[in-house]
Every structure is written in structure tokens, then in C-alpha cells.
Structure 1
Amino acid sequence: MRRHEIPDGILPTQRGLYYGGAWHAPKAGAFADTINPCYDEAITQAPLADADDVDAAVQAAHTAFPAWAATPPVERGRYLRRAAAILREHGQPLAQLDALNNGNPVSALAMDAGFAADCLEYFAGLATEIKGETIPMGDGNFNYTLQEPLGVVARIVAYNHPLMFAAARLAAPLAAGNTVVVKAPDQAPLSTLRLAELVGHVFPPGVANFLCGGRDCGEALGRHPLVRKITLIGGVPTGKAVMKTAADSLKPVLLELGGKNALIAYPDADIDKLVNGIIAGMNFTWSGQSCGSTSRVFLHESLHDEVLARVVKLLPERHRPGIPTDPKTTMGSLVSRAQLEKVQRYVAAGLEDGGRLVCGGRQPDDPALKDGFFYEATVFADMQPHMRLAREEVFGPVMSVFKWRDEDALFDQVNGVDFGLTGSIWTRDLNTAHRAAKRILTGYVWINNASQHFMGAPFGGVKQSGIGREECFAELLEFTYTKNVNLKLG
């Protein structure tokens, strides 16, 4: 008996792997507990796919590919819209399930099913836009190109938005005519199993397949010769491992990896909006477990002290750790004990390197949270670029604040890390905004905004933050190749 009961109808009823239009027990019979990080207790067991399971799923997807690729694009779009409608219908219980399994607040997760449905509908509408072009060759030749689907695509998704990523990342490859195998995050697999229950049957057998498992499962997907492309949302070390595995078969990759993202405040920034933007940009709601979090805040010396004081005052009021399934909670838990210990190590490193702890820096003392992986919203000031906390991604609720004076020196610091995912610029001057946007070396820039995504706007990074773009038309083309056709006339 669980110490904390779970409402009826929340958990998936299946405990298997879904491929080829049916549920299958893992071939080796392996299962593992998946936990509720709020209480560090097991919810249920999830199946663990090994290389044999991966092969079976990939073979099913490979068998389904020719018929799915031949399905008219308009019809593929209809399938995606049916799946989107189901997600919208089940959004709230899916949010409750993710809150149980990954520790994020249910109030924030409530938006995830809707965003995933938006993605499915967006790419459903683009299915007819996968077009080639004609190329003039002079008399006697007719030359044109086709954008052809790749085949079986493997998509490995992250634990911070399990349902959203698993559902949304189906959209582009399916719209382009590929079949897909989704690997759930091993820390929080339950919503992927529930997703398979809800939408797996919508598609022809073998078109959408769902696996649970750990590193062995991911490596087997990367090695499999019938997987034509592998994608990942995750950390840099995992991204490098995926890329090395894919290199053996010259398999292309699409990687959305980590970030050590900068928020830059100029002297003329609107201070009220800036303070709110600093707090929102760090994604404390998700305990900082977001690759796009603006975890490095660069405040001009003219406003540094005032803004820092206001952030430190407002932050504990706005984001206090609480029970993730409570709709009033504004900050959840970390996903695992390993993640909590990682955050604790980085806080200790920040202190050892001379950073000034001005907010948080400890686990909450609320007795209701004593068993979970909670950590307070944390802010360090007086940070210097050489400090470990200033250079490495924590993926936790820890923000570093810097003071700057000279713009050239500022951008040396901002761009002096191995990451380049997002950036946020705060100024009321249009010239300053465009100049700064040009100088910051990231794939995505907000001006007087932070953390927000927009459907159709390309999201992705440079340097070690990733390869490729998602949430836009370019993502659709990521799952095609160009075929040239030359016809000799007469």
C-alpha cells in the first residue's frame, strides 16, 4: 500500500512496451520502480526495454514505413489532429500524472498537453508544404527535387516535460512521412505509457511506437541500422554519447542540449518588468530544470543593487517549494535524489569559489516536504566568470548574478561559455536591443521577455547547446532528404 494514495484513473493501466500497434512485455522481463519525488516512494513499476525490445520496435516501425510514407499528406495531417484532440481532452489528468512522477507543479504542467496539441496541429497543417523545386537546365532537360522521408526516427525525450515532449516530438517526423519510436525518460516514464494508451491506436500499427528504458535502450536505438535519424532532448554528456553512437552508422542527429543562458540588463531597462523577467526566466517553477533557464544574470552597475534586492525579496514569496499535485504550488521538487545531490554540490562549489549566497541555498524546513527532493530558490551574487557555478549547467534552482560596466567585457563573459542556447536582453532602446541581439552567441534571443516559446519560431542552440532547430518549419525538413530527379526530354 502506498503511503500517499493516487486518484483513480491517473495511472496508465498498461505496464508494457507499445510497438506494432500492440502491447508487449519486455523480452527479458525487466521492470524497475518509478518514484514520486515528492515523497521518495515508488508509484509503480515501469518496463525496461533492452536491445531485443528495441529491435522488435524498430522492425515494426520499419515494416509500417512504406505505407505511411505513401499516405497522402492531408490524410497524415488528419491523424495528427485526432491525436491532438485526445490530448486536449485528457490534459488535466496527464498533468497530474507528470506532477506525481517528475515533481513539477500540476498548475504549470496543465499547459503541456495543450502545447503538444498545438505542435501536432501545426505540423498537420504543414504536411502538404514539404515541397521540392524545379531547376532550369535549358532545352532538353527537366530537373526537379523531392523531399523524401527518412524512414524510422528515434526520439529520446527529457524528464522535465515528459508528456509534452513525447507527444510534440511525434508531430514533425510523422507529418513528413516517417515512422517513430519514442523513448520515455527513465526518471519519469508514466505519462509516455499513458500517451501510448491514448493515441497509439489512432495511427496505423507501427507508425507511433513507445519504449521505456535506461541507457541500454537509448544506445540500442542509436546503434540500430534501421534507425535513420536519432534525436535527443537532454544534457551535453548524453548528447555526446548519442552522437558517438550514431557516428558508427553515419546516422544524422538532432540535439537539443543544455544551456548556461545569460540575461543582460542595460541601464535603461524597465526595472519592474526586469525583476519579473529575471524570476520568470530562471524557471523556478520547474526548480530550474529547464535547458532555456536564464541562470546567469548580468546587471549593469547602475541598477545592480536595487534589482538584486528586489529579486531577493520577491523570489521567496513567489516561488516556495510545495506539494506538486497541489494546484496552489508554485515550485515543485527536483526529479531525483541524484539531481538534488548535484544541486547541493554546485551550491557548495559556489561558496568555495567566493560567491555570495543571498537567497535560498538549502532544503526547505517544511515537515510536509522532508522526504522529497526539494530545494529552495537560490541566488548567488558577486559572481566571477572563472567560477564553476558561473560556467556549468546546474539544471536546478540556482541563479548567478554578475555586475557589469563595459559592454565589450560584458559580451566576452556572456559568450565565454561552451553553451549557446538562449539569451534575454532588457533595454528600452531599439538600437541597443538589436546590437546586443547580434552580439550574443545563442540560437534564441528574447528582448524584454524570457522563457516563452512561440509556435513556428525556431528553437535550438549553437556550440554545445545542440544541433538543429525544432518547433518550426525547419524541424519538418529535419526528417526529410533531398532527392534530385533529372528527365531527359525528347
Structure 2
Amino acid sequence: MSTLGETIDKAEWEDLKNKLLQREYRMLIGGQLVGAQGGETYETYSPSTGELLGSVPFAQSVDVHAAVDSAKKAFEFWRKTPPLDRAKMLKTLVKEFKKRAQQYAVLDAVNGGNPVTAMLSDVFSAVDMMEYVIGMVTELKGETIPSSGINWHLTRREPYGVIGKIIPFNHPIMFTAEKIVAPLIAGNTVVLKAPDQSPLSSLLFAEICQSILPPGVVNILTGDGPITGNALVCHPAVKRIALIGSVGTGKAILKSSADVAIKHVSLELGGKNAMIVYPDADIEKAVEGAVGGMNFMWCQGQSCGSTSRLFLHEDIYDEFIERLIKRVGQIKLGLPIDPETEMGCLVSQPQFDRVMGYIKSGLEQGATLVVGGEKPKGSVFQKGHFVEPTVFTNVTEDMKIFKEEIFGPVLSLICWNEKEDVIRQVNALPYGLTASIWTNHLPTAFETIDRIEAGFIWVNGSSRHFLGVPYQGFKDSGIGSEEGLDEILSYTQVKTVNIMME
């Protein structure tokens, strides 16, 4: 098996791809790999070639109810399973997951459009997060509170029950694998809805869950948001819901779930994130930070954390643009399955149309296109949803490309000279997920950190996530925290106990 440090042979990837696409993929419900009860399916495609990859089950309301009923039944014994025993089973799951790293990377490249080497990195990122969460099992503890006399006041953490998880298309296997572990380690059971556009790796992961975990502890469904996702959100037995997705979907979930019951909901949503470069910054490093922060070479800008608004001080504006144009021009576009590819394609035709619509809007509203903006030339790109890495200058705050999340490889540059004005522009939008600040002056960095309305801020860095460091959004960018101890604890509810001793 290849690891991140080894050379990957293109022919081996192609051979593995062909083998993976010759098999059938099914959902996991109640410990069984099954199709939809009514036989409903939908087709899934390769966004880079237009190739039909196969059909997957389309879960209807009856299938969602079966999965939730199974998870509810499994909860009765899973919650009573000793925490260290749960951890032991999950460690076995991680071990088997690592063995199939290449398979998951191939499926996410072929089905999602992301470069295969980046998707291999996703697998190992998920492994790190899973092992971190499993290792925190003994931290799910309560407190004793010295409040009155000789009486005892205690708290204990208990699981919710059935957890509904909905994940997006940009990192399918990473989110499928790592996002089930926190609820499971806390004693909950899970029903996960795989992403509509790129479901194959989630269904492959379902197979190792079936072989290792007791029936019903994990259930994995495929389908769409309006039918499958809504049925999951609105099921009265689903006590806790977690979504990674768009602001619009997050709002819809809050409304739909509230009509059924008061549920605990966490949302990791979109962003229109800012990168601010001060005149004293290291320009060469900041250029790399801008390219990395935009996620051109990870998921083609299809990331909620992408720093898609780049605020450059006027003293460095021209030099920065010159260096940025050169650097972006070096990005190698290609088929996602090719290990030499640095940037793949968008996930679907609607996503391609959306991004191209924003590029057209930028031109019509007066921004200056300095890089990209088109489908790349060459026969290899013509059947797929490829968009060149795109950079606009002279972007102003009245433009759509300034205000709205594009979720594609479009970077907007804004020139500034007054600190008060740049802070105002950064905070002017309803989003508040991430921000990146570039300066070598520590007081400037801390002042900007204090004033920026965002949940995760890098200083002289961008894009990277760090093990155990919480990731969360402000304003419309989310509710709750991911990736740290707070996420693990969020899958428990606190019960307070008072014991009268007198």
C-alpha cells in the first residue's frame, strides 16, 4: 500500500479504478448491505470525463425510517458497551480503513473530481482525527461540585441516542470516516447521509463498518437532500443533527427540525473568507498562502474555508499581483486520477454553471480578470467540469464576487490603504468562518485578530487544520465547534445529580 511519502504509479491507479468500478455499491442499514426497499436508484458520474460510474441506491423515507429504527435499537446496547470496548472496536475500524487508503482516494478522485494525491492525504488526515478522538474516550467525564454542606452534587455525560449526520461532496471519505467517531465514542449510534454527487467512497466505507461494528451502530444512506436528507432531519427519533454544508441548507435544517422537536443541531457552514496582507508581510510566503488558502490544489476552491477575498495593501498591491499571476500559472490541471495533477475539476455541471456565472458577473460588474476565467484548452478537459484557477483584481464591495460564496476557484483581490476601512469590509458580510492575517508586526496581528469576526484565524498561514484545535464559524457560518474536544463533548448531554446526605 502506498503512503504519502511514496511514489504512486499512474497505471496502478488506473487499474485500481477499473476494479472498483466493476463492483456493486449498497447502503448499510441494520448491519446489512442493501438497496432501497422500493428499488429506487440514481446514476453517479465522473465529473472529469462525464463517464457513467454506475447506479447507487436512492433512499426514500421508508429506508430512512428503517435506518433510524435500526440505530435506535442498537443504541440500547451500544450505550451500555464499556467506553474502552467501544474504543477497541473503533481502533480496529481505523486499522482496516488505513489498509484501503488507495481505494478511497481513487473513488474520491474519480467520483468527486479532486486530485488523487490530495484525496490520499484526506484519508490519512481522517485517520489522524479518528485516532485523536478515540484517544479522548476517558475525557467524557463529569464533575463533582462542592456547593452545599455534606451533600453531593455530581454531573455525568450521557449520549443523546441516534445522531443524524449529513456531509458534503468536497471531502467525501474524510468526512464520512472521521465524523462518525465522535458520536460513536460517546455512546451514540449514527445514521449518515452520504453526499449526493460523490457517494461511492462512503458506500465502500460502509463495508468495513459492517464487518467490524455491531448491526445498527452505523448506518450509511445515499440519496438527495429534499427526500433522504429531509426525512432524516425530521425523524422524531433523531435527537442530534450535524451538518457540514451551505448556509441555505443549514437554515432549512433548523426550520425543518424545529417543526418536529427541539433538537441539538450543529452546523459547519459556508464562508466568504478574507485574507489581509499588511505592507510589512513576507510577500513570497503570502503569495503561497493566498494560493493555498484558496484551495486551488485541494478541492478546486470548493471549500467553505477558502480565503476567497484577498485584501492587499496598496504599497504591495502591484508586486503581489505580479507574483501571484506567475504562481497561479504554474498550477498543473489534469485528470484527477493522474498523480501529477495538482488541480482537478468541479463536482458537477450545476456547480460548473454556478462558477462560470460568477465569473461572468465579475466581468459585467467591472472587475479585471487577470488569470483564468475559462475552461482550460485541450481535449482532456472538454468532457469534464474544469475551470481554470481564476483571479480578479479591482474588485469592489458592491460586486457579487465580493459578497457571495462562489464555492469554486475564483479569487477576488481588493486594494486597501486604511486599516479601519479594510476591517469594515472584512466584517461587512454575514459570514464569519475563517480569516488569514499576514504581518510581521505582532501588535498589528493581535489588534486585527481582536476585531475580525471569524471563528478560525490564521496569522502568517492559511488553510491548514491542526489536530485537536477547534474549528468553528461566527455569524451565519455555523453553530458549534468541530475537530477538538468540544466536538466530542457535543455528542453528550449533561445530567446533574444531587445526593442528599443529611
Could you tell me the TM-score, scaled by structure 1's length? 0.97
Report the counterpart of residue 159 of structure 1 in structure 2.
169
Aligned ranges for residues 307-318 of structure 1 at < 5 Å?
307-317=320-330
Could you list the per-position Cα deviations for residues 288-345 of structure 1 after superposition, in whole angstroms to 9, with x for gaps in the alignment?
011110000000000010001110112021x232100000000000000000000011
RMSD: 1.3
Report the counterpart of residue 292 of structure 2 in structure 1.
280
Report the counterpart of residue 230 of structure 2 in structure 1.
219
Q: Count residues in correspondence.
A: 486
Q: Are 1:441 and 2:453 an aligned pair?
A: yes
Q: 1:246 aligns with which of 247, 251, 257?
A: 257
Please give the secondary structure, in 2, of the residue aligned with 1:29: coil
Q: 1:81 aligns with which of 85, 91, 95?
A: 91
**Deviation of 1:427 (Å):** 0.6
Please give the secondary structure, in 2, of the residue aligned with 1:297: strand
Q: Are 1:228 and 2:236 an aligned pair?
A: no
Aligned ranges for residues 14-413 of structure 1 at < 5 Å?
14-215=24-225, 216-248=227-259, 249-285=261-297, 286-317=299-330, 319-413=331-425
User: How far apart, CA to CA, are the structure 1 residues paired with 2:21 and 2:483?
Assistant: 29
* Unpaired stretches in structure 1, ≥5 consecutive residues: none
Could you list the per-position Cα deviations for residues 249-274 of structure 1 after superposition, in whole angstroms to 9, with x for gaps in the alignment?
11121111111000000010001101
Please give the secondary structure, in 2, of the residue aligned with 1:53: helix
**Deviation of 1:140 (Å):** 4.4
User: How far apart, CA to CA, are the structure 1 residues paired with 2:305 and 2:149?
Assistant: 52
**Deviation of 1:34 (Å):** 0.2
Please give the secondary structure, in 1, of the residue aligned with 2:39: coil
Aligned partners of 1:14 and 1:193 also within 8 Å: no
Q: Which amino acid aligns with 2:239?
A: R
**Deviation of 1:416 (Å):** 0.4
Q: 2:436 aligns with which of 421, 424, 427?
A: 424
User: How far apart, CA to CA, are the structure 1 residues paired with 2:204 and 2:26?
Assistant: 11
Could you list the per-position Cα deviations for residues 424-478 of structure 1 after superposition, in whole angstroms to 9, with x for gaps in the alignment?
0001111111111111110000011100000100011011111111100000111
Aligned partners of 1:12 and 1:193 also within 8 Å: no
Please give the secondary structure, in 2, of the residue aligned with 1:181: strand
Moved more, 428-437 or 51-60: 428-437
Aligned partners of 1:73 and 1:127 also within 8 Å: yes
**Deviation of 1:12 (Å):** 8.1
Please give the secondary structure, in 1, of the residue aligned with 2:391: strand
Could you list the per-position Cα deviations for residues 46-93 of structure 1 after superposition, in whole angstroms to 9, with x for gaps in the alignment?
110011000000000000002111111111111221111112111112
Aligned partners of 1:49 and 1:211 also within 8 Å: yes
User: How far apart, CA to CA, are the structure 1 residues paired with 2:37 and 2:44?
Assistant: 19
Please give the secondary structure, in 2, of the residue aligned with 1:75: helix
**Deviation of 1:113 (Å):** 1.2
User: How far apart, CA to CA, are the structure 1 residues paired with 2:247 and 2:425?
Assistant: 21
Aligned partners of 1:63 and 1:206 also within 8 Å: yes
Q: Which amino acid aligns with 1:84?
A: V
Distance 1:12 1:88, change over 3 A: farther
Could you list the per-position Cα deviations for residues 122-145 of structure 1 after superposition, in whole angstroms to 9, with x for gaps in the alignment?
111111111111112323421101
**Deviation of 1:117 (Å):** 1.2
Please give the secondary structure, in 2, of the residue aligned with 1:109: helix
Please give the secondary structure, in 1, of the residue aligned with 2:436: strand
Report the counterpart of residue 10 of structure 2 in structure 1.
none
Aligned ranges for residues 446-465 of structure 1 at < 5 Å?
446-465=458-477
Aligned partners of 1:94 and 1:191 also within 8 Å: yes
User: How far apart, CA to CA, are the structure 1 residues paired with 2:80 and 2:211?
Assistant: 19
Q: Which amino acid aligns with 2:326?
A: K
Please give the secondary structure, in 1, of the residue aligned with 2:136: helix
Moved more, 136-145 or 354-363: 136-145
Please give the secondary structure, in 1, of the residue aligned with 2:482: coil
Please give the secondary structure, in 1, of the residue aligned with 2:302: coil
* Unpaired stretches in structure 2, ≥5 consecutive residues: 1-13
User: How far apart, CA to CA, are the structure 2 residues paired with 1:25 and 1:387?
Assistant: 46
Aligned ranges for residues 463-474 of structure 1 at < 5 Å?
463-474=475-486
